[in-house]
Amino acid sequence: MPLPDFLVIGVPKAGTTALHAALARHPDLFLPTVKEPKFFLSAGPPPARGGPGDAQTYQEHVWRPADYEALFAPAPAHALLGEATPFYLYDLDAQNRIKRLLPKARLVVLLRNPVDRAHSNWTHLWAAGLEPERDFVRACALEEPRREAGWAHFWHYVSQGLYGAQLAHLLGLFSRDQVLLLRYRDLREDPAPTLDRVCEFLGVRIGLLDAVPSQNVTPFVADTSVNAALRAALRTGGQIGHHFPVPVRQVFRGPLLTALRRQKGGRRPLTSTERKAVLPYFVDDIALLEEVTGLRYDDWLTAGLGPDVIDDGS
Tell me: the pLDDT tens digits for 158-169? 999 999 999 999
Of residues 267 and 99, the one with the higher pLDDT is 99
What CA dihedral angle connects 171, 177, 181 and 186, to 10 degrees? 170
- Of 86-100, 206-220, 235-249, 255-269, where does mean pLDDT reach its minimum? 235-249
- Of 132-146, 244-258, 265-279, where does mean pLDDT reach its minimum? 244-258
Residue 137 has pLDDT above 90, yes or no: yes
For residue 75, count other CB atoms closer than 10 A to its CB. 17
What CA dihedral angle connects 5, 56, 252 and 124, to 10 degrees? -70
Closest residue by Cα to residue 46 from 8, 94, 12? 94
Residue 308 has pLDDT above 50, yes or no: no
Which pLDDT does position 269 carry in this prediction?
Answer: 78
Letter string b/e over residues 126-149, b meaning 16 or more CB atoms within 10 A of that residue's CB: bbbbbbeeeebbebbbbbeebbee
Which pLDDT does position 19 carry in this prediction?
Answer: 97
Q: Considering the entire predicted model, what is its pTM? A: 0.85
Residue pLDDT, tens place only, 199-216: 999 999 999 999 988 755
Of residues 308 and 192, the one with the higher pLDDT is 192
Which pLDDT does position 229 carry in this prediction?
Answer: 66
Reported as a pLDDT band with limits 50, 70 and 90, residue 3 is very high
Of residues 184 and 306, the one with the higher pLDDT is 184
Residue 291 has pLDDT above 90, yes or no: yes
Residue 192 has pLDDT above 50, yes or no: yes
Q: Averaged over 247-262, what is the pLDDT?
A: 59
Q: What is the secondary structure of the chain as a DSSP string?
A: ----SEEEEE-TTSSHHHHHHHHTT-TTEE--SSS---GGG-SSSPPS--STTHHHHHHT---SHHHHHHHHTTS-TTPEEEEE-TTTTT-HHHHHHHHHH-TT-EEEEEE--HHHHHHHHHHHHHHTT------HHHHHHTHHHHHHTT--GGG-TTGGG-HHHHHHHHTTTS-GGGEEEEEHHHHHH-HHHHHHHHHHHHTS-SSS--------PPPP----HHHHHHHHHHHHHHHHGGGS-HHHHHHHHHHHHHHHT-S--PPPPB-HHHHHHHGGGTHHHHHHHHHHHS---GGGGTTT-SS-B-----
| Mean pLDDT of the chain, nearest integer | 88
